[in-house]
Chain A
Amino acid sequence: MGFERSDRGERGDRFEAPTYEKIKVKDQDLHYKNVELLKKCVGGQGQMFSRRRTGLSAQRQRILKQAIKRARHMALLPFVE
């Protein structure tokens, strides 16, 4: 068959998930005091990144979530920028 890129059919026009560079948080201590690391895990407006972007396991992502929330409470991270 071999479709050209320009003339993809109905089925060929699939959504492609954007790829992100994973943040290397794996071996580091996820703690609210580790602000430099937490800053990498939130976006420009202060929103947390998904697991797809942090590359963490579900369990570690929950720990990250808790750490970010604690840091926000202590005014170490913004709720919204």
Chain B
Amino acid sequence: MSRTYEIMYLLDNNVVRAGWKEAKAGATGLIEKHGGKVLAARRWDERMLAYPIRQRRRGTYLLAYGELDADGVAGLRRELDLTESVLRYLILSAESVPAEELALTQAESAADFVIPMPPEDRFDRDHEEDEEAEEGAGEPELDEATVPAAEPAGEEA
């Protein structure tokens, strides 16, 4: 027996920057792959994360509703755990898809709907700068030492 689930994804901004449609298709495609049906899917928000995840300080949230059976949910969880582009996910059972969500999904699939580009991640830039500096020094061992040091500096900003 299949039930309706609310699935929230936290997607890596680097993947979103490459193309929102592809990123969205990649995430919702997993629902279909595990024998489910996508009822609604839309970009929920792009925001600063409360804490860095895998050196990402920002992320894009994708809110999807789908119909899955119990085995499908277990399979989906397993696969999402292994998917690099999904930083976090949350699967909750929902009684039904809110009408508002269906409308927003419709609006997003319209041709003239523009998805704002995620802003550049400050942390990513700092990280790259560090790498460049290290390349000049020619000491690859420094890589791991400097990356954690950059984290608290970024948080204060």
A interface residues (Cβ-Cβ under 8 A, vs B): 32-33, 70, 72-79
List the one stretch of B22-30, B46-54, B132-140 in contact with chain A.
Answer: B46-54
A/B interface sample: 26 pairs, CB < 8 A: A32-B90, A33-B8, A33-B44, A33-B63, A70-B90, A70-B92, A73-B90, A74-B8, A74-B10, A74-B61, A74-B88, A74-B90, A75-B10, A75-B49, A75-B50, A75-B51, A75-B53, A75-B59, A75-B87, A75-B88, A76-B47, A76-B50, A78-B50, A78-B51, A79-B50, A79-B51
Residues of A within 8 A of B49 (CB): 75
User: B58 — nearest CB in chain A belongs to which residue?
Assistant: A75
Residues of B within 8 A of A76 (CB): 47, 50
Total count of chain B residues near the partner, CB < 8 A: 15
- Given contacts A32-B90, A70-B92, A75-B53, list 17 more A-B pairs with CB under 8 A: A33-B8, A33-B63, A72-B50, A73-B88, A73-B90, A74-B61, A74-B88, A74-B90, A75-B49, A75-B51, A75-B59, A75-B87, A75-B88, A76-B47, A76-B50, A78-B50, A79-B50
Residues of B within 8 A of A75 (CB): 10, 49-51, 53, 59, 87-88
Bound-state CA distance A32–B10 (Å) is 14
- Report the 3 A-B pairs with minimum CB-CB distance, sorted nearest first: A75-B49, A78-B50, A75-B50
Bound-state CA distance A70–B91 (Å) is 10
User: A71 — nearest CB in chain B belongs to which residue?
Assistant: B50
User: B57 — nearest CB in chain A belongs to which residue?
Assistant: A75
Residues of A within 8 A of B92 (CB): 70
Bound-state CA distance A47–B1 (Å) is 39
B152 to nearest A CB, angstroms?
13
Residues of A within 8 A of B8 (CB): 33, 74
